[in-house]
Structure 1
Amino acid sequence: MPRQFPEQQVSFQEIDEVKRPTCPWLDEMDAPCRYWRVDGEPFPQAAPYVVMKGGAPTAAPFLVSPDRRSVVYLDRTSRRMVHQHAETRIDLSGPLADPDVPEVSISEHGRYVTLTKNDTRVIDTRSRSEIVLPGALKVLEVNSAGVVVTTASRLVAHDHHGKELLSIPIPSTLLESHTAFLKPDGSRLVVISDDGDLVDTYDLATRKRIHRVRPRLPDGDLIESGTGWSGKGPFQICRDADEEERRDFFLDLATGKTRYVKNGLPDGYRPADQ
C-alpha cells in the first residue's frame, strides 16, 4: 500500500508548475504519484482522484488561474470544492460524492469560478455572491467581463449579474466545435467554429455580428485555437497548445490576416478595429 499522505496544509504565492497524480490504483507503491505536486512539493489537501459510475479513477479537478495565483480543487478531507489564494481558502460547495463533482473554470485573476453540473454556478470569490445559469451545460469562457456558456441549442454570454448580453442559436450537433472569447472590457465576443475555419466577431452593445473571416496562418494552414486578447490589444491565436512547441499569432478580426508574434507587435502590423 502507498505511504500515508502528508497532513500539513500547503500555501503558495505564485504557482509555476503543477504535476498531476499518475497512479490511481491502490496496489501501486510510488507515493509521490498519489497526490498533486505544486512546484515539486506535495499539495496534500487536494483530492487526487474521483471515480464516476462505471468508470476508472480519473484525476480530480485541479485548476490554476491564468495569473498563477489562485487554484480551485476538490478538498481531500471535506470533499468540498475549494478556492485557494495564498493561504486563504474559500469553500465553494458542500460535500460532494464523486459522481456529483462538477466541471470547473476560473477567470484570469482567479476572482470568478464556475461549477457546472446540470446547470452552472458562477461564484464571485471576493464578494462571496453567486448566480445560477439554468440550462448552461458547458462554460466556454469566464473572465472579468462575464461568462460565456452553451445550452442545448445556443451560445449565450452573460455579465456577472446574470444579465444576458448575447444569445446565438447553434445546432446541437455543432456546439462542440465552437469556442468563444469575451473581451475583458465587455465590448466584443469572438466565436471560433468549424475547427478554426470561421471566426465571427460580435459587438455586445448592439448585439450584432460585425466581422466574419476565414483566417489562415502565414503558411496557409487553418488556425488551431484562440487564446484571447493579448496585453498589447490585438486578438491572439496559437498553433500548438504544447508550451514547448507553441507559436503565437495576432489575428486581425476585420480582415482575417495573421502575423507571427515575436517580442511584441510584428513589423508593419496595423490592426483594424478589434
Structure 2
Amino acid sequence: MKVHRRNMIMIIIGAVFLLIGILLIYWGIPYSPFESSFDKDMKKRILEIAENKEICTHDEVERLPEAFKKHCKYIGLVGSKKNNAVNIVFHDTRFVFDSNKGTILDMEYNLWLLCDKPFRSAFCKSSMFGVPFDGIDYCSDDKVGGMKGILGKAIELFDVHNQQMYKAGLISWLAEGACVNPCILLSDFITYEEIDSTHVKAKITYNGVEGVGIFNFDEQGRLMSFESDERQVEKINGIMTPIGWKAKYDNYKDKNGILIPGSMQAIKIYPDRELVYFDSNNIEIYYYK
C-alpha cells in the first residue's frame, strides 16, 4: 500500500514538472495565438484599403494655420506620398503598467494607424514575473474602444471597453499620426483653430465622436508636443476623473525624405504631478498603400 501511494505521489510530481516544462517551452517560443490573430486582422484591413497615389501639395499646406505651415516646411512634407496606413513598432518601451504599485514593464508595442479614415489598434508584448503578458488596444465601428490583457498566452485578465476609450483612441490617432504619418494633417476629419504662432487647437471628428487637443511647436516649426484634457480618465478617490494627457516628440530623423520623431513619450498629467508612462526611443516605421 505504501509503495502504491509512493508511486502515485511520484507520478503526480512528475506530471506537475512535465506540465511546468511544457508551459515554459510554450511561453518561451515567439508564437502567441492572440498576436497571430491580431496580425491576420491587420493584414485583412490593409488589403481592404485602396491605394493612395496622391502627394501632399503646396496648396493643401497653405490652407493650414501658420504654425503648421512652418512645421510642414521644416519636415519637408510637400511632394511626399500620402500613405493610407502606417505600422509603428516601438521596441524596448518603458511602460508603467500600474502607477500605484509601481509596476513597470519592458514591452514591444506594435501600433497600426489606418489613415484613409481614423482607425487605431495595437498589440503589446511583455512579461510579468517571467510569465508572458499580451495586451491589445482596439476600437470598433460601434464607437467602442478598449484594452484586453492576456496572461500566459491563454488567460484573459481583463477586457475594459467603453465609448470614452473610443474617444481616447481617436485623440491618440491624431497625436501619433500627426508625427509619424504627417499627411493626416491634411485630413478632412481634422479642423484647426490657431491660438498663437506656436500653438494650434485641433479637433478630430469621426463616427459622431469628437476629440480636441493642442499642438505645440518651437520657433523653427518643429512639433514638440500634443496635449489634451479629453483623452485620459482615471479613478481618483473612487471617482472616474478626467486628467491631462500629453504626447512628446523628439530626436527627429529622416524617413523617406520626411523628418519623423525618433523618440516619443506619453504622459499623464495629474493635479499634483506628471507621470511618463510610455517612453520609447527605438522605433521602426513601415508605410503602406
Q: TM-score range by the shorter chain?
A: under 0.3
Higher Cα Rg: structure 1 or 2?
2
TM-score w.r.t. length of structure 1: 0.27
Query: Which is bigger in relative contact order (C-alpha 8 A, separation at least 6)?
Result: 2
Normalized per residue, which structure has more helix? 2
